[in-house]
Amino acid sequence: MSDTVEVTWDTSFGSSGCENAFDIRRKTFVDEQGVPYDEVFDARDKEAIHIVGRINESAIACVRCVDEGGGRWRVGWLATHQELRGKGIGTQAMRLAIKTIGEHGGHEVVLSAQGTAIEFYRGLGFEQCGASEDLPSGFTLTPMHCTLKN
């Protein structure tokens, strides 16, 4: 891994004020990876906790946390600006997401990992918890989870 980058993190509730984060998400998933727009953005954005990383006031990373009830939270759409990948920013975002979820009473975090990200999530304490699913868009997602230590 390259040198760690100093990032300022903001947390917001709902989609208000997340336009820059949504721009990173769109560039990463829609433009780069070809995921259909309506799969990347949905009504859950309005009820989610959005974590946005900034360098010099410019949004460079984001992750979304959604309360699924009963202490279970779903993390998704982790994205880092293309030129800044490999510098530990995704790890910082996930650690903050897990901490934030714990502060909101969460005890389990679930996610759907792309094949190339499975080892990244394992390194953060996640384990596979079901069969991988092939999507019509050509992506394979693997369900993973971790239990938070309180």
Work out the number of other CB atoms within 10 angstroms of the CB of residue 42.
13
Per the model's pLDDT, the better-predicted residue between 1 and 124 turns out to be 124
Percent of the chain having pLDDT more than 90? 67
pTM of the model: 0.90
Name, in order, each residue with C-beta under 8 angstroms of 47's C-beta and a sequence gap of 6 or more. 14, 66, 67
What are 14-37's pLDDT values in tens digits?
A: 777 677 788 899 999 999 998 889
What are 119-128's pLDDT values in tens digits?
A: 999 999 999 9
| Alpha-helical runs (H) found in 3-140 | 19-25, 37-40, 89-103, 118-122
What are 50-100's pLDDT values in tens digits?
A: 999 999 888 899 999 999 999 999 999 999 999 999 999 999 999 999 999
Tokens of 14: 């709902």
Tokens of 80: 């880092």
Torsion angle of C-alpha atoms 45, 47, 48, 51, degrees rounded to 10: 90
